[in-house]
Structure 1
C-alpha cells in the first residue's frame, strides 16, 4: 500500500463510524458503509448542492409572492404547489417549455411572446443548470468527478439572472418580473442578497473542484449586461 493509502483508509473508517448505546446502556460502534466511500470534498459537494437548490426554491417562493399572477398562469392551485412542482422538476411534465432546459428555459422568462409562468421558466432553467453542474447527482462519493467550469458558469448565470430581473422589461416599460424593491421608503434587496449567496457557494465549489483536479480555473470575462446565459450541461 502506498504511503498515503493507510492514513486515507483510517480517515474514511473514522468518518463512517458512529457510537451508539443500546437499551441496556451498552455502547457499540456502527459503520455506515456509504460514508466509507465519501471524502470531505464529497460531503462539501453534498451540502453545497443542497444549499443552492434550497436557495433557488426560496427565490421562487419570493418571486411568486411578488408576482402571484405567474403561478396562476401556470395552472397551479397555489404558490406552494407551484414551488413544489419546481422541487419535483424531474418527475413532472413541462409541456409549456417544449423541452427547453437550463439557459433556454430561463431566457423564456424575459421573452415578451412567452405566455406561461415566467417564475417557473426562470427558476426551472436555473435549477436544471445547477443539476447539470453537479452531474445530476444528489450525493457524491470518492470516485465522482465534478467539472469546475460548469460550476463557475452556473455562478455567472446567477449574476445574469439577478441583472435581468432588475433590468429586462416588456415593451410597455414594465419589468417582466418584480423582485427587489428600490423605493427608499420600502427598500428590499433580499433577492440580490440571496442570488449573491448562491453565486458565492458555486464559486467556492468551483475553486475546490479545480484545486482537487489540479487545474487552474479559467475565469472567462462575461458581461452580465449582454444577458446571455452561459452553457453548463453541454460542457464536457
Structure 2
C-alpha cells in the first residue's frame, strides 16, 4: 500500500475508533449533567447527530423532572423517606438518583426494575419507601426503553416503539399514583390536591411534560429512520454517483 493510500484510510479509521470509544465509554451522563443546562460542550458531542443530542437532552430533562417529583412527594409524604434509615430526605433522594443513573438495584424492591418495580411499589404488599420505589421504577423504565443508556451517539439505536410505550406507561403510572388507596381508603401517596383549602396540580403538570418529551422523541426517531430510507431511494432514483477523489 502506498503512502497516499495509507493516509486516505488513516483518518476515517481514527474517526471510527473515536466514535466507538465515545459510544462505548459514555454509557451514562454524569450526575453534573443532570443539574444544569449551561454545561460546556464536550468533545464527545461531535459524534452526536441532532436526534442523538435531542434524545440525550430529553433524557436529562426527564430524569431531572423525576427528581423534582421525588422531592415534592417526599415533602408531602415524609413518612416514606424515614423508612429508608437515611438522616434526611436529601440523602434518601440521592440514593434513588444514584441507583437510577448507575443501573443499580434499589433496596426494598428485591431486584425488581421498571414495570415490575412499578406494580410492586404501588401494591398493597409493599411496606418500604413508596416514593423512592415509585420514582426508581419510572426512572429505570425510561433508561430501559432507551436501550439502557442515558447518553446517545451515532452508533446507538433507539427503538421508537419502546419510547412510545414508556410514555403510555407514565400516563398509567400517573393514574395509579392518584387512584391507589390503602385498606382505610386513604391515598397510598399524597400528590395532586383539589380542595377548598388548596389546589395543587403540579404533579400532573410535571408528568405531562415528561410524556410530551417522550412523544416528541418518538416522532423524531420515526422521521429519522424514515428519512434514511427516503434518502437511499432518492439516490437510486436520481442515480447520484459517489465522488472518487
Find out whether 1:133 has 2:145 as its counterpart: yes
Q: Deviations over 1:176-219 (max 9, x none)?
A: 1000111133100000000001000011111111111229xxxx
Cα shift at 1:35: 3.0
Q: Which runs of 5+ in 1 are unaligned?
A: 1-30, 216-236
The aligned residue for residue 195 of structure 2 is 183
- CA deviation digits over 1:4-28, x for unaligned, max 9? xxxxxxxxxxxxxxxxxxxxxxxxx
State the TM-score, normalized to the length of structure 2: 0.71
Aligned partner of residue 156 in structure 1, secondary structure = helix
Contact 2:163 2:214 (C-alpha < 8 Å) held by counterparts: yes
> Could you tell me how far apart the structure 1 residues matched to 2:81 and 2:140 are?
19
Cα distance in 2 for partners of 1:105, 1:91 equals 14
**Residue 61 (str. 1) matches residue 68 (str. 2):** no
Partner Cα distance (1:32, 1:110) in 2? 39
User: Displacement, 1:108?
Assistant: 1.9
Does residue 152 of the first structure (1) align with residue 152 of the second (2)? no
Could you say which structure has the larger radius of gyration?
A: 2
RMSD: 1.8
The answer to whether residue 118 in structure 2 is matched with residue 109 in structure 1 is: no
Give the superposition deviation at 1:157: 1.4
User: Which structure 2 residue ranges, 5 or more long, are not aligned?
Assistant: 1-40, 228-245
Cα deviation digits, residues 22-74 of structure 1 (max 9, x gap): xxxxxxxxx96523321111111110000001101111111000000000112
Structure with the largest fraction of helix: 2
Normalised by the length of structure 1, the TM-score is: 0.74
